[in-house]
Structure 1
Amino acid sequence: MPHHVTLMPPAPTTRKRRFRAKPLAAVGLSALLLTGCASPGGPAAPAASSSEKSGPKEAGAPTPRLVYTHDAGISVLDATTLKAVGSAELSGFNRLNPAGDGRHVLVSTGDAFRVFDTGAWTEPHGDHSHHYADDPKLTELAFEANKAGHVVRHADKTVLFSDGSGKVETFESSALGDAAVRGKLPATDVYTTAEAHHGVAVELEDGKLLVTLGNDEGRTGIAVLETGKGQERKEIARNEDCPGVHGEAVAAEEAVVVGCENGMLIYKDGAITKVASPDAYGRMGNQAGSEKSPVILGDYKVDKAAELERPTRISLVNTETATLQLVDIGTSYSFRSLGRGPSGEALVLGTDGGLRVIDPLSGAVTSAIPVVAAWEESETWQDPRPTLFVQGSTAFVTEPATQTIHAVDLKTGKVKKSVQLEHVPNELTGVEG
C-alpha cells in the first residue's frame, strides 16, 4: 500500500504566512485535553558541522529519521531521540515524499523531484542485514518534471506524476538506493496521459496502472491500463463519474480509491465502483489507507463556495461493502490531519489539539489524545499548521506555534517526547532507515 499520501489542494494566487492559536478557553475537548499536553523539551541538538563529518557508521539497528521543511530549507531528525542530525538549504515552498527505499525522500520543487538522502539505510547480507547512518544531504540527482505533483509508493514501485505534462514515471523503489550511490537515477518507465492535469497514478501488484483523467479545465475520473510498458499499455476500464478527482489511497486486498466531489471511486478485482456522497456536493479529496483495514479514511466537505471550509465530519468508506459512513468528530481538522495507525486504526488531528483514534469499522472514537494547543487552519494551504505523520506505532505531530515536535506512543496513548526545533516546521515525513 502507499505509505504516504500527497495532499495538494490547488495553490492560491497569493501567499500569506500566518499561524494563529485559539485561546484555550475556546476548545471543545475536555479539560484534560487542555492541560495534558506534554511540555516541550529543550532545543534539539544542532546538526554536525562539516568539519565533524566522518562518513557512514555502522549501527546495531535501523536508524529511522524524520524530515521536515521550513523557510530555510530541509532539516532531519533522529526519529527516536528527535535530535537534529543535519539540514540542507533549499529556497521556495517544497513538498516531501518518501521515495520508497527506506532511505531517500523526493522533494517536489516545481520543475523536478529532487533526491534527498536522509543518511540512514539498511543493506541485506545473506541471512542478516547491516545498518548504516551518515550525514543527510541534498543530492544533485533529480527526476525532471513539469509541475512536480503526487508521488505514490505501492507494490514496490514508486510513481511520479507531473501535472504540467501528464507524465507518469515509474521505477522500482528499491533501485533508487543503489543507483543514487553511483550518482545515477534508476531506470524508469514513462507513460503520458492524453491531457495534462493535476493528477495521480498508482501501479498495482499485477502491473496494471491506474491513472486519473482530466485537463486544465477539470478532472473527471480514472482509467485502468493493462500491464505493459509506456504508451503500449491499453485501457481496460474507465469511470468518469468523479468530478474534481483528487488523491488516492490503497486499502486491504488491493482496493484502490480516488476521491471525488460527489463521493469516491473504488477499483477492486477488475471493476470500478462508485460510492456516492449523500450530498450533491460531498468532496472526499484527501484520503488515508491501510493494508490492515478495508476502510479508507477521508475528509468530507459540503460547501463548494467556501474559500476554506472547516469540516467536523470525516468519511469512512468500506471497500468491501462499497458503503460510506460519516462521523462527526466534534472538531475541525486540516488536510494534514489524517493518518493510520499500525493496526489500521483511523487517526485525525483536530484543531482542538487532540489526536482522535477511531475504529474504522464502527466509526467510534475510542480515544482523544491531548497533543498540541488549540489552533486554527490558515486560509493559505502552504502555511505551516500542525501536521500528523505516523511511523510504526509512533505518531509524530508538529506544532508550528511553539516550534515543537511531539512523539505520541499509540500503544499507550501518551506523548512520550517533545522537542523544540531550530525552525518553524511545515511539511513532515520520514524513513525507516
Structure 2
Amino acid sequence: MKTSPLRRAAVGALALGAVVALASCSSSAATPAGTADSAPPAAGPRVAISYDGGILVLDGETLETLADFESEPFTRLNPAGDGRHVMVTMSEGFQVLDTAAGSPDEPELTDDVFAADAPGHVVRHGDKTILYADGTSDTTIFETADLGGSDGLPETRTVEGVDAHHGVSVLLEDGTFLTTVGNADGRSGIVVTDSDGTEIASSDQCPGVHGEGTAASEAVVFGCEDGALLYTDGQITKLTAPDQPYGRMGNAWVSETSPIVVGDYKNDPDAEGYLLSAVTLIDTAAKTYEVVDLPEGVEYTFRDVVRGPDDLAYILASDGSIHVLDPETGAVTESFPVVEAWESPAEWQDPHPSIVVSGDTAYVTEPAANSVHAVDLTTGEVLATTELDVTPNELAPAAG
C-alpha cells in the first residue's frame, strides 16, 4: 500500500468550518478492471462492496468490476447521500469513496477523511449528512452537495458529545438536533435541542437506545430494549413493546413519504444467533406500536430489510427469497426466490446475505457463492448476476 496524506476534518464545538489537519496513514490506489487504454466507464449507477481487506466498485447495471481498492480488514459502507460518494469507516475516521456514479470518471478511494474516534453511524436527511463518532460522541455535519469538491473536504459543523457511547444523531430541516444519551455503562435515551442549542425535550426512558429513522413529516423514531421513542412536533412519546421487560427494536427502515416505520424485533435476550422472525410496525401519525410475526421460515438479520417501490418493505430471508411486506397491513404479499437458503452468521460482522436498494433495483449479496445479484423489485426478475473472486460482505449503492 502506498503512503499518502489524509485530510481530516477538525473537531470544533458548534463551529462552522473545518480545519484540515495532515496525518500520515495508509491509503491505496485502485486496480482498474481494464487496461490503461480502456475508455472511461460510462455514466451510470454503481454499487460498492466490502470484503476482507478491500472494497470493490461495480457497475450498477452490468455488475462488472470497475475498481478494487485495498482497505482495512473489516470496513462498513454508508451512502453519503449525494448519489455518488460512500463513507467508509476506517480507523482514522470516515474515508470518502468516490464511486464515480453518474460521471465519466474512474472510481477512487480518496485521501479525504473526516477524522473520528471510532466512527459509527451515518445519517442522511434533507440536504445534510451527519457523522457520529462513538469514541467521543461528537457529531459532524456538512452540506451533502459540498462533498467531492475540488478543495477537498467540505466545511463542517461539529456538535461536541458529552459522554462517549455507541450512538447516533439526527438533524431536522429547521435545525432541530436529536442525539442519543449514554456512557460507557449503557445508553438511556435522547435529548433534543433547537437551532440555537437550547434543550427543548429529553427522555431517559429508552434503555439500550439504538437505531433511528426519520419518516414522513420528519417524525423521528429511536429503538429501545422495551419499545421505542417517537419525536414529533416538539414532543417525545414513549411507545411500549408488548413484551416486557425485553422487547427490543434496534434498527428502523423508513421512507420519508410514509408515516409507517418498519423495525426489527427481538423478545429473547438470550436467543442464539442473529436471525429474527418478527417486525415492528410504528405508525408515527397514530403513535401506535405493533409487532407482526412473519410467516414460517421467514427470518432475517439487520442487513436484510429495505424500503423500496411504493414504500413497501422488502425482506431478504434465510429461505433465500425476497418477501414483500405491506407496512400498512403487516401482510407479506409476494415472494421472489433469489439466493440459496442460508443460516445465521456466528458473529454480526461475518459475511451473510444482505440487501440494499437504489430506485426499483435491489442489490443482493450471496457470500456462500461469492456472488452479487441485481433484482427488479417491481417484478422479482434477476437482472444481472456476477461471481466475484472475493467474498462480499457489506454493500452500498450509488444511484448517480
**Counterpart amino acid of residue 64 in structure 2:** K
Q: Which residue of 1 aligns with 2:171?
A: 203
User: Pick from 284, 293, 296: which aligns with 1:319?
Assistant: 284
Q: Which residue of 2 aligns with 1:90?
A: 71
User: Pick from 161, 184, 195: which aligns with 1:216?
Assistant: 184
Q: Which residue of 2 aligns with 1:51?
A: 36
User: Pick from 156, 159, 163: which aligns with 2:134?
Assistant: 163
Q: Which residue of 2 aligns with 1:129?
A: none
Give yes or no for contact 1:87–1:137 (8 Å, CA) kept in 2. Answer: no
User: Pick from 243, 247, 263: which aligns with 1:298?
Assistant: 263
Matched, 1:343 2:310: yes
Matched, 1:367 2:352: no
Aligned to 2:344, the other structure's residue is in SS state coil
Matched, 1:241 2:205: yes
Give yes or no for contact 1:356–1:365 (8 Å, CA) kept in 2. Answer: yes
Distance 1:251 1:266 in 2: 10
Distance 1:210 1:305 in 2: 31
Q: Which residue of 2 aligns with 1:376?
A: 343
**Counterpart amino acid of residue 348 in structure 1:** I
Matches within 5 A, 1:379-394: 379-394=346-361
Distance 1:432 1:119 in 2: 10
**CA positional deviation for 1:422:** 2.7
Question: In the TM superposition, what whole-angstrom CA distance separates every residue of 1:345-370 from its partner, at most 9, and x where no partner exists?
Answer: 01111111111101101111110111
Give yes or no for contact 1:359–1:366 (8 Å, CA) kept in 2. Answer: yes
Q: Which residue of 1 aligns with 2:120?
A: 149
**CA positional deviation for 1:51:** 2.5
Distance 1:423 1:309, change over 3 A: closer
Give yes or no for contact 2:277–2:299 (8 Å, CA) kept in 1. Answer: yes
**Counterpart amino acid of residue 101 in structure 2:** A
Aligned to 1:397, the other structure's residue is in SS state strand
**Counterpart amino acid of residue 157 in structure 2:** D
Matched, 1:100 2:88: no
Give yes or no for contact 1:245–1:258 (8 Å, CA) kept in 2. Answer: yes
Distance 2:391 2:73 in 1: 15
Of structures 1 and 2, the one scoring higher in RCO (CA 8 A, sep 6+) is 1
Distance 2:171 2:104 in 1: 31
Aligned to 1:101, the other structure's residue is in SS state coil
Aligned to 1:259, the other structure's residue is in SS state strand
Matched, 1:250 2:245: no
Instruction: Provide TM-score, normalisation by structure 2.
Output: 0.88
Give yes or no for contact 1:246–1:258 (8 Å, CA) kept in 2. Answer: yes
Matched, 1:81 2:66: no
Give yes or no for contact 2:309–2:378 (8 Å, CA) kept in 1. Answer: no
**CA positional deviation for 1:250:** 1.1
User: Pick from 325, 335, 344: which aligns with 1:358?
Assistant: 325
**Counterpart amino acid of residue 90 in structure 2:** T
Q: Which residue of 1 aligns with 2:105?
A: 134
**CA positional deviation for 1:197:** 0.6
Distance 2:276 2:49 in 1: 26
Aligned to 1:177, the other structure's residue is in SS state coil
**CA positional deviation for 1:169:** 0.5
**Counterpart amino acid of residue 235 in structure 2:** A
**CA positional deviation for 1:309:** 4.7
Distance 2:34 2:142 in 1: 34
Q: Which residue of 2 aligns with 1:404?
A: 371
Q: Which residue of 2 aligns with 1:286?
A: 251
Distance 1:315 1:347 in 2: 14
Distance 1:225 1:259 in 2: 19
Q: Which residue of 2 aligns with 1:19?
A: none
Cα RMSD for the two superposed structures:
1.6
Q: Which residue of 2 aligns with 1:426?
A: 393
Q: Which residue of 1 aligns with 2:52?
A: 71
Distance 1:309 1:397 in 2: 18
Distance 1:187 1:311, change over 3 A: same
Aligned to 2:333, the other structure's residue is in SS state strand
Distance 1:411 1:348 in 2: 14
**CA positional deviation for 1:111:** 2.8
Distance 2:318 2:101 in 1: 33
Give yes or no for contact 1:249–1:258 (8 Å, CA) kept in 2. Answer: yes
Distance 1:365 1:293 in 2: 18
> When the two structures are aligned, how many residues end up with a matched partner?
367
Q: Which residue of 2 aligns with 1:175?
A: 146
Matched, 1:271 2:235: yes
Unaligned runs of 5+ in 2: 1-30
Distance 1:416 1:432 in 2: 16
Distance 2:188 2:254 in 1: 22
Question: In the TM superposition, what whole-angstrom CA distance separates every residue of 1:366-385 from its partner, at most 9, and x where no partner exists?
Answer: 10111111001112111100
**Counterpart amino acid of residue 103 in structure 1:** R
**CA positional deviation for 1:49:** 4.6
**Counterpart amino acid of residue 357 in structure 1:** V
Give yes or no for contact 1:307–1:379 (8 Å, CA) kept in 2. Answer: no
Distance 1:226 1:398 in 2: 41
Give yes or no for contact 2:53–2:74 (8 Å, CA) kept in 1. Answer: no
**CA positional deviation for 1:47:** 4.1
Distance 2:124 2:77 in 1: 13
Give yes or no for contact 1:87–1:136 (8 Å, CA) kept in 2. Answer: no
**Counterpart amino acid of residue 245 in structure 1:** V
Aligned to 1:174, the other structure's residue is in SS state helix
Aligned to 2:290, the other structure's residue is in SS state strand
Aligned to 2:368, the other structure's residue is in SS state helix
Aligned to 2:302, the other structure's residue is in SS state strand
Distance 1:214 1:403 in 2: 39
